[in-house]
Structure 1
Amino acid sequence: MTLLLRPAGEHDLAGVGDLHYRSRASAYAGIVSPAALTFGSPAAMGEWWTERWTWERETHRLTVALEDDRLAGFTYLGPSEDDGIAELSAIHADPAYVGRGVGRAMMIDALAALTRYGDRAVLWVLEENARARRFYERGGWVADGESRVEPIGDEPVHQVRYAISLSGAGR
C-alpha cells in the first residue's frame, strides 16, 4: 500500500465528512445507539467540516491520507483549550482501511505536527472504545484521569482524556 499524506483542501471537505460519518458508525457500533450513529447524514457532516474549517483553518491542521486518490483517512489537530497544550481532535480511517497501517501512519504524522503547538498533547476517546484505547496506548498515549460527557447525535457519551509528551515525538 502506498499512502500519501497531504494537507486537506476545500475540495476534500465533503469526502472528509462522508468518511467521518462512516468511520464513526463503524468504530462506535455497539457503544452508541444506532439512532445516535445515524444522526445527520454524510452530506451534513461534510457541511459541518466545511463550517469548522472556515473558522479554524488558520489555527488547525487537517491532513488527508490517500491511497491511489481514494480517501483512506484524516487527522485534525491544533491547540487545545489549555495554553501550551496541543490536541489531536480527530483521527479517522475509512473502515475498509482499519488494520492496514493507515492509522499508524497518520498518528506518526500527527505527533510530529503536534509539536508546533506545545510539548504535551491530549486527545479524547470514548470510554468504552477499547480498540481505540489500545491503539493510543500502543502509541505511547496514557489516560490522564480527566473525563467528560459529550453528545453524539442526541446521546451523551462518556469520554476519557489521553495525554502524551511530545519531546522527541515523531522522530
Structure 2
Amino acid sequence: MDLTLRPAVAGDLPAVGALHQRSRVAAYRDLVPAEALAAISPESMGRWWTERWPYERETHLLTVAERDGSLAGFTYVGPAETGEPDVGELYAIHLDPLEQGRGVGRALMIDALATLHGRGWRHAVLWVLAGNERARRFYERGGWRPDGVERQGNIGPAVTRQLRYRRDLP
C-alpha cells in the first residue's frame, strides 16, 4: 500500500476534479447546504481543472498522491492572492474521503510546505471554512495559525465564511 506523490499531468485533471468534488461533499456536508454541494458535478469540476491548467501550470503546482495507482489526494500551491512577494499560498488540499486518517494529508502537507519553501517564499497562507473544525485542527497540528483575516467565498451558490491561516516556512 505505497503512497506516491508526483506533479500532476493533464491526464490527471478529470480524476482530480472528481476527487475534489467527493472531498468537498464529505468535508462540507454539515457546513454547506446539500443543494449547493450538488450544484457542481464531478464532471464539471474536472472541466474546471482542465480549463485552468494551461494558464496556471507555469506559476502553480498541482501535486497528486496515489496509493496503489489510485488517486488518494492532491494539493495546489502558488503565489499568494494578496500579491505579497514573500508569501505563497496553499490553495487546496483534498483527500479521497476513504483516505482520511491514513497519512495522505500529512504527506501532502509536508510536500506542499517544501514546495512553497523551494519556490522562495518565506511564509505561507491558506483559507479554511470557519466551521470546518476537523480541517482547522489538522492545519494547527501542522503549525498553521489563524491570522485574524476573514473573507466570504462561495461553494456553488452558498456563501461561506472563511478564515485565513498563516505560518512561516522552514
Same fold (TM over 0.5): yes
Aligned to 1:22: 22
Give the number of aligned pairs: 167
Amino acid at match of 1:165: D
Deviation digits for residues 9-56 of structure 1, max 9, x if unmatched? 000000000000000000001100001111121010000001111210
Find the aligned partners of 2:120 and 2:18 in 1 and give their Cα distance: 28
Alpha-carbon offset, residue 117 of structure 1: 4.3
TM-score w.r.t. length of structure 1: 0.96
Kept in 2: contact 1:65–1:73 (CA 8 A) = yes
Task: Within 5 Å, give how 1:80-99 maps onto structure 2.
Answer: 80-81=80-81, 82-84=83-85, 85-99=87-101
CA 117–42 in structure 1, closer or farther in 2 if over 3 Å, else same: farther
Amino acid at match of 1:139: G
Find the aligned partners of 1:161 and 1:69 in 2 and give their Cα distance: 33
2:136 matches 1:133:
yes
Specify which of 117, 121, 127 is matched with residue 118 of structure 1. 121
2:149 matches 1:146:
yes
Kept in 2: contact 1:79–1:117 (CA 8 A) = no
**Helix, strand or coil for the counterpart of 1:151?**
strand
Q: Percent identity?
A: 59
Aligned to 1:12: 12
Find the aligned partners of 1:15 and 1:80 in 2 and give their Cα distance: 25
Aligned to 2:105: 103
Where does the alignment leave 5 or more consecutive residues of structure 1 unmatched?
Answer: none
Alpha-carbon offset, residue 2 of structure 1: 1.1
Amino acid at match of 2:77: L
**Helix, strand or coil for the counterpart of 1:49?**
helix
Find the aligned partners of 2:43 and 2:104 in 1 and give their Cα distance: 24
Alpha-carbon offset, residue 83 of structure 1: 2.2
Kept in 2: contact 1:78–1:117 (CA 8 A) = no
Where does the alignment leave 5 or more consecutive residues of structure 2 unmatched?
Answer: none
Give the superposed CA RMSD.
Answer: 0.7
- The worse-fitting range, judged by mean Cα deviation, of 23-32 and 76-85 is 76-85
